[in-house]
Amino acid sequence: MTAPTRSTLALDIGGTKLAVGVVAPDGSVHGLRVIPTDKHEGPDAVLARLFAAGHLAIAEAGHDVGAVGISCGGPLDADTGVVMRPLNLPDWDDVPVGPLAAREFGVPAHLVNDATAGMLGEAASGAAVGARNAIYLTLSTGVGGGAVLNGLPHRGAAGNGGEFGHVMVRPFGRRCTCGRLGCLEAYASGTSIAARARDAVASATEPTVLAALDTVRAEDVVAAADAGDPLARRIWDETLDVIGQAVTDLVNTFEPDVVVLGGGVTRSGGELFDRVRRTIDATAMAPAAAAVRLERAALAPYECLVGAAVHAVTRIEETTHV
């Protein structure tokens, strides 16, 4: 891939926050903006604020922008740039984010699944540089995934490949946002960790520091677990168990050079990585366990911005050389 000569505006649409930045040809991010999604306002209002932040980022960066890369949770139609009711944005029914961004900024705009973007960012200039086979898992508001297989990004038949958050870890378990029972996302996302803790507090017969909180967040659960709170410890232990189980399944399936973990839940401390590594070593097939590295996302928390830019530049190159 030829290095781009112009910068790319990158927009990351999440269930909790919106991130905007101008990604230079060397992968550096300028004019960074992070604002709440406030998804209750609906797609029109959210996109208006997102695009306004994009214009501010361009002005602050002072770069010539040649494309827009957009990262968003799926399902989506990457070819047409349409977001198709993402699980963490339930009112976004067939929103043409790509065409709207292209019209707003006057340059080509390309949409990509957010976890695929995270993988592309880490493969381009992060923890997966040089890996021919890599898995990326983001543990955030939801749980997403992406893969590079034999040196090429895995997009799947409809552009939504790599939905690792919807592998089953607890058959007939908690209901996931996708409608199935027992998905990884139903146990390992920040949203689900908090929800499981609130449910446990409501039925608890033992004292817990979480009962005194008006709102229980995932970071509260981790802090309480670290402090020895028994209820929080059980919630966090189960979370670590299912993450380790899911990563081990992916290691056995793909035998990657590296697994990269990103997202807010991974900022809980080193225990998560230690537990996942021990689970891989203890339960994965021996050759796969010996070959794989486990890494924290090096570009976190903005790997999706870099990856969205990489995707946009790559798509423009592909269409230019057809």
pLDDT of residue 1: 39
Mean pLDDT of the region 22-41: 94
pLDDT (tens digit, 9 = 90+) per residue, 248-274? 999 999 999 999 999 889 988 789 999
- Residues 277-304 have pLDDT tens digits of 999 999 999 999 999 999 999 998 889 9
pLDDT of residue 320 exceeding 80, the answer is: no
**pLDDT given for residue 43 in this prediction:** 95
272 Rama sector, left if φ>0, alpha if ψ -120 to 50, beta otherwise = alpha
What are the Cα distances from residue 279, in Å, to 25, 193, 241, 291? 39, 20, 8, 15
pLDDT at 16: 86
Give the tens place of pLDDT for each residue, 230-242.
999 999 999 999 9
List phi, psi (to 5°) of 81.
Answer: 75, 25
Task: Using the predicted structure, report yes or no on whether residue 180 has a pLDDT greater than 70.
Answer: yes
For residue 3, the model assigns a pLDDT of 47
Q: How many CA atoms lie within 13 A of 179 on its CB side?
A: 2
What confidence tens digit (pLDDT) does each residue in 89-114 have? 888 999 999 999 999 999 999 999 98
Rounded average pLDDT over 142-153: 92
d(CA 8, CA 124): 15
* 318 vs 218, residue with greater confidence: 218
Q: How far apart are CA 106 and CA 94, in angstroms?
A: 22
| Burial class of residue 150, CB neighbours in 10 A (0-12, 13-18, 19+) | exposed
Task: Give pLDDT tens digits for 112-135.
Answer: 998 899 999 999 999 999 999 999
pTM: 0.89
DSSP 275-297: HHHHHHHHHS-HHHHHH-EEEE-
Q: Which of 61-75, 155-169, 189-203 has the lowest mean pLDDT?
A: 155-169
CATH class of the domain defined by 7-120+301-320: alpha beta
| Average pLDDT for the chain | 93
- Identity (one letter) of the amino acid at 198? R
* Most trustworthy range by pLDDT among 4-8, 32-36, 137-141, 263-267: 32-36
Flag the least confident range among 8-17, 50-59, 155-164, 178-187.
Answer: 155-164
The torsion region of residue 263 among left (phi > 0), alpha (psi -120 to 50) and beta comes to left
What confidence category does residue 205 fall into, taking pLDDT thresholds of 50, 70 and 90? confident
Tell me the domain boundaries of the chain.
7-120+301-320, 131-296
**How would residue 86 be classed by pLDDT, with cut points 50, 70 and 90?**
confident
- Give the H/E segment covering residue 138: strand 134-139
The pLDDT confidence band at residue 156, using thresholds 50, 70 and 90, is: confident
Residue 319: per-residue pLDDT = 75
Give the per-residue SS3 of 149-170. Answer: ECCEECCCCCCCCCCHHHCECC
Instruction: Evaluate whether the domain defined by 131-296 bears CATH number 3.30.420.40.
Output: yes
Structure tokens at 58: 């361009």
pLDDT level of residue 2 (50, 70, 90 thresholds): very low
Confidence label for 204 from pLDDT (cuts 50, 70 and 90) = confident
Report the pLDDT averaged over residues 28-49. Answer: 95
